[in-house]
């Protein structure tokens, strides 16, 4: 008899300022009925409070916590980053190293949340559609309608892979990246290709991707990372530029709904439908860094009130249930798959209530308080939290820096 396939979601947290994001990602996965664990990779310098919060959430949310070392380019590789906050994202590539005990893995950034429906079908789709050694992902949106000066010259609407598609075709028939050109092993970066769709349609967004782990893929990817420092020095978005190059000619585009960039709601109106979003990606500023205003305004440009409100609604449900105690996932989760037993005793309920109050207090340290409220909310002057708030687009000056060692 064939064994049951093993599937898992994975995310990465390197800074406590993303704790609220991880908690809501886990909560919304479970709320929408996912039956598979979320592996949380965390780095050695993650604060003790953040680790404690994850430990408290683990039995309720079917989390598997795995401590991992930072992954940085070798030696004194010169790295040019769009923003300093991307310096830790190389570590995302550890997912290929640490998850070979699963048949299919779906990576999700810590600034994502699940809405409308269960996402678990992504695993069966990957097994059915992805050859071994391939990646399933979503295109990078290159519209640059805000005219950010750091963007390449060919980043405009006409060259965006989302522009040619509309609803409902975009759900099942997305623009596919160019087929193999025979140069997949070429060390020339994608950025060196002629400007235009033949280049921009090769770019992917690294917030969500799915793959079939194997030791061979792990070894090949990590060897490429360690031996091509000249190439790494050209990447401005570390992990996703690396993935786009490494899987050049070997990745398949998925429907936009699996990595719904929040800006697409007003940049790709003919494609976006609120009720089709499965996995919402809160790129740029993060919703937990600032409440939605009384006028419904949110986001660094003031255009994200709707999608940020979705996040806050989900957060408020999580907090209310955690403060109330009890197990609210029994109807959605198979206890044998989650490792969590039914809450049948008053003692268990009391213990859960104590843990709930503790985890809420810990998460609140990195969450904006309600408008006009300060009591019960510990506000920390955290530069990491400020860096993901409304001033997030104060990008680094594209100055090359040497990679530094971390514990």
Q: For residue 1, what pLDDT is reported?
A: 53
**Residue of 234 and 326 predicted with greater confidence:** 234
List CB contacts of 54: < 8 A, sequence separation 6 or more: 13, 19, 22, 40, 42, 63, 65
Q: How far is CA 307 from the centre of its chain?
A: 16
Q: Residue 212 and residue 214: Cα distance in Å, rounded? A: 7
Q: Is 112 exposed, middle or buried (0-12, 13-18, 19+ CB in 10 A)?
A: buried
SS (H, E, C) 192-237: HCCCCHHHHCCCEEEEEEEECCCHHHHHHHHHHHHHCHHHHCCCCC
pLDDT at 407 over 90: no
Q: For residue 251, what pLDDT is reported?
A: 97
Give CA separation, 349 vs 12, 54, 324, 332, 345, in Å: 30, 19, 9, 19, 6
Q: Mean per-residue pLDDT for 21-26?
A: 98
pLDDT bin (cut points 50, 70, 90) of residue 172 is very high
Q: For residue 396, what pLDDT is reported?
A: 37
- Lowest-pLDDT range of 259-268, 336-345, 364-373: 336-345
Q: For residue 395, what pLDDT is reported?
A: 41
Number of helices (H), then strands (E), in the chain: 14, 12
Phi and psi dihedrals of 350, rounded to 5?
Answer: -65, -45
pLDDT bin (cut points 50, 70, 90) of residue 347 is very low
Phi and psi dihedrals of 207, rounded to 5?
Answer: -70, -30
Per-residue DSSP letter, 325:
-
Q: What is the pLDDT of residues 292-317, one digit of tens each?
A: 999 999 999 999 999 999 999 999 99
* Axis crossing angle, helix 305-324 with helix 346-364, rounded to the nearest 10: 140
**DSSP output for 108-126:** E-TTEEE-SS--THHHHHH
**DSSP output for 124-149:** HHHHHHPPTT-EEEEEPP---TT--T
List CB contacts of 12: < 8 A, sequence separation 6 or more: 40, 41, 42, 43, 68, 91, 92, 94, 95, 109, 110
Mean pLDDT of the chain: 85
Q: For residue 198, what pLDDT is reported?
A: 84
Q: For residue 103, what pLDDT is reported?
A: 95
Q: For residue 152, what pLDDT is reported?
A: 87
Phi and psi dihedrals of 340, rounded to 5?
Answer: -110, 130
Q: For residue 381, what pLDDT is reported?
A: 62
* Axis crossing angle, helix 346-364 with helix 19-31, rounded to the nearest 10: 140
Q: For residue 67, what pLDDT is reported?
A: 97
What proportion of the chain, given as a percentage, has pLDDT over 70? 81
Q: For residue 256, what pLDDT is reported?
A: 98
Q: Residue 274 and residue 262: Cα distance in Å, rounded? A: 11
Q: For residue 339, what pLDDT is reported?
A: 34
Q: For residue 397, what pLDDT is reported?
A: 36
Q: How far is CA 369 from the centre of its chain?
A: 24
- Lowest-pLDDT range of 2-11, 73-82, 381-390: 73-82
* Residue 391 CB neighbour total at 10 angstroms: 11
Q: What is the pLDDT of residues 221-238, one digit of tens each?
A: 999 999 888 888 888 888
- Lowest-pLDDT range of 9-23, 194-208, 245-259: 194-208
Q: For residue 196, what pLDDT is reported?
A: 80
SS3 39: strand
pLDDT at 91 over 80: yes
pLDDT bin (cut points 50, 70, 90) of residue 372 is confident
Q: By the 8 A CB rule, do 202 and 178 touch?
A: yes
pLDDT bin (cut points 50, 70, 90) of residue 186 is low
Q: What is the pLDDT of residues 47-89, one digit of tens each?
A: 999 999 999 999 999 999 999 999 988 776 666 654 555 567 8
What proportion of the chain, given as a percentage, has pLDDT over 90? 66
Q: For residue 70, what pLDDT is reported?
A: 93
Q: Residue 134 and residue 139: Cα distance in Å, rounded? A: 15
pLDDT at 113 over 90: yes
Q: How much is the pTM?
A: 0.88
Q: Are strands 38-42 and 260-261 parallel, antiparallel or unpaired?
A: unpaired
* Axis crossing angle, helix 19-31 with helix 48-61, rounded to the nearest 10: 0
CA neighbor of 270 nearest in space, from 172, 154, 164: 164
């Amino acid at each position: 008899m064939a064994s049951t396939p093993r599937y898992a979601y994975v995310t990465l947290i390197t800074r406590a300022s993303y704790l609220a994001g991880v908690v809501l990602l886990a909560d919304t996965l479970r709320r929408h009925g996912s039956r598979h664990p979320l592996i949380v990779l965390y780095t050695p310098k993650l604060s003790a409070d953040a680790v404690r919060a994850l430990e408290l959430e683990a039995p309720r949310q079917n989390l598997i916590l795995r401590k991992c070392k930072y992954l940085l380019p070798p030696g004194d590789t010169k790295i040019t980053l769009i923003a300093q906050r991307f310096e830790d994202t190389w570590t995302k590539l550890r997912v290929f190293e640490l998850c070979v005990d699963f048949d299919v893995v779906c990576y999700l950034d810590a600034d994502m949340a699940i809405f409308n429906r269960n996402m678990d079908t992504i695993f069966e789709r990957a097994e059915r559609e992805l050859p071994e050694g391939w990646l399933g992902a979503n295109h990078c949106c290159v519209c640059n309608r805000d005219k950010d000066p750091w963007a390449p010259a060919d980043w405009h609407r006409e060259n965006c892979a989302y522009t040619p598609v509309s609803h409902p075709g975009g759900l099942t028939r997305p623009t596919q990246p160019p087929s193999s050109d025979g140069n997949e092993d070429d060390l020339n970066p994608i950025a060196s290709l002629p400007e235009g769709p033949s280049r921009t349609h090769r770019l992917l967004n690294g917030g969500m991707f799915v793959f079939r782990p194997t030791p061979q893929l792990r070894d090949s990817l990590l060897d490429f990372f360690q031996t091509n420092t000249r190439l790494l020095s050209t990447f401005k978005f570390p992990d996703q530029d690396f993935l786009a190059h490494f899987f050049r000619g070997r990745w398949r585009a998925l429907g936009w709904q699996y990595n719904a960039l929040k800006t697409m709601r007003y940049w790709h109106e003919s494609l976006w439908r609120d009720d089709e979003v499965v996995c919402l990606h809160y790129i740029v500023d993060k919703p937990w860094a600032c409440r939605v205003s009384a006028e419904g305004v949110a986001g660094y440009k003031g255009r994200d009130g709707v999608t940020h409100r979705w996040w806050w609604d989900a957060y408020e449900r999580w907090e209310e249930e955690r403060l109330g105690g009890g197990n609210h996932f029994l109807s959605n989760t198979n206890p044998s798959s989650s490792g969590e037993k039914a809450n049948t005793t008053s003692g268990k309920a009391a213990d859960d209530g104590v843990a709930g109050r503790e985890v809420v207090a810990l998460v609140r340290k990195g969450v904006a308080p309600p408008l006009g409220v300060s009591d019960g909310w510990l506000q920390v002057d955290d530069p990491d939290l400020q860096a993901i708030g409304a001033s997030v687009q104060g990008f680094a000056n594209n100055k090359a820096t040497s990679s530094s060692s971390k514990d």
